[in-house]
Amino acid sequence: MSLLDEYGDRKEQNGKKEGMKELISSLLNSGESLSEIAKKTGKSVEELEEILKD
């Protein structure tokens, strides 16, 4: 399953922001850095940090 497929599945289940938050948390737990996640998702590090705060 691609990153976008996983994000789409989570988006449908939990709403866009919650799905993205879960995806970011999951990737961080697997050892990815915020900058790597930013490249994969097309979001800035600041946007990712903001999502995680909420």
Instruction: Provide the residue ranges of all domains of the chain, joining segments of one domain with +.
Output: 3-53
The predicted structure's pLDDT at residue 20: 82
The 10 Å Cβ neighbour count of residue 48 is 21
pLDDT in tens, the chain (54 residues): 567 667 666 665 666 777 788 889 999 999 999 999 999 888 899 989 988 887
In 20-34, which positions are buried (b, 16+ CB within 10 angstroms) versus exposed (e)? bbbbbeebeeeeeeb
Which contacts qualify for 4-13: CB closer than 8 Å, 24 or more apart? 7/41
Predicted TM-score of the model (pTM): 0.66
